[in-house]
A and B are shown apart, each in its own frame.
Chain A
């Protein structure tokens, strides 16, 4: 069958080709420019945003408890000296009594340590007991305490920053009197507010609000499960005097608990017997670290409709272009090339919500499949200009026969991977 272009003659045919190519090139250049500008613009602002967020959080949280923020004592002192009003706020939040205890405990433990051999360094050691560390307490009784946690709410979960705020009750119970000064501090975040509700020798309880940080796992995005960790450690009492145990009977989620946009999957509580790399000579003391994890899963229905459906629609529209013959080349191109722009924009919109990763998520793999299919569909049009015009009909037919099943296979692989 003779096409309209063939009837029109060679010169007209070439002019139309140039227009189509030009249009395609312009769109591609615009897309690349937009993508590059978006990426360049997003990286510093993202980092700035994260840094700014962290700085803002630090600025807000530092007054509450510079020590729990993991700051070195000198830095904490500087922070206090720099802003007495904040230091006062900290004292109000944590309690003067507790603050005083924090300062006394290490001194008390160090009193029993002796400087064995000054030529080997100036760190005193304990010659009795299991641990030689100056922070060990060989003469104090060893206590096993059970840790219970009731998670009340989780709010402001920001996967890009990898941060969330949690409100929870924490309880410690034991059959023997616990060390008088117990201060469980977060190792992956900061405490904003801490109220001591019970302070008995065998029962202690706090109501805590804090901001915690996680490393999001986005391998399965948008079907990902995130683990929201709350890690607490008492670095003033080593495992020689205090061993923690998770309490399954008193670790719960509050009634009606939910994280907006996420489905509760599991909770986990465990104790990590934590050993620091040597901070000084004979730093051999172990510490009990309580690690609570809330597993939340993205709603599958939402994931399908926000990621998979748009990607498939883009591919289907592009695929429909294969049914337009050469005399409808403009329509055919318009079904494919703008879809590439749509795919790039859609992909960048998805990435804006997530932190940078060193690996491809499922959504990335899906989009790779989409790009591959769109490229294939564009090639099926461009190939007409490579071969002789006598093969126009053959190429049109085989483009459908090859591209349609290949598109289905590529998309199936992209969805499954």
Chain B
């Protein structure tokens, strides 16, 4: 029989002391002149502030546990995710934020309905303790994979516009002309996740499971949730990317099927010092 121990809390002093470990990557990055130190420090600072604020917000949200507030919170996450994808991929925000929002919303409704409604069968579907973190995990992962997929798709189309035109001219079928670009985007975005999933438990222990075990859950319970969340993330990411590409296509081409100019409007955000 497994006896679950009480969680060992981390004091703010201990947490602050933990930051010292960052000196190791900072020294390495400095030695190799990567230009990433500033980005690392900004990233770590942002992560700290954002998570501390989220900790406070989530405390209130869990206490209130109001369906409308929880829905609004998730919609804000969808909106921020869509904006981040537009910024990071360098695509024209005016053209593509709306399709990304619609894709995020549609995929989340489907995934949440299936996993929270049909699998976990929550009595209260919008329970903040489940609805917000699970939606957040799906949206966060979708955002990262969308950035890779959308970048590959539109970079491919812009750089190989001649190939797209060639396929469109000779097949007179836009779906056939776009197929190589969609294949490339899906492979680049989803391959790493599939590879990661296939070695999960062998060479990596996922964060959510680790968090649950540290929080007092039994490993068996944590693993069941981890499997469910992995399925939800994989499906959510695939669906979100697929829908983002589908809805984006409505804005990316003119009435003649030709690629519009000005799809990529800015250089992608890359790490710099």
Indicate whether A and B interact: no
Which residues of B are in contact with A by a Cβ distance under 8 Å?
Answer: none
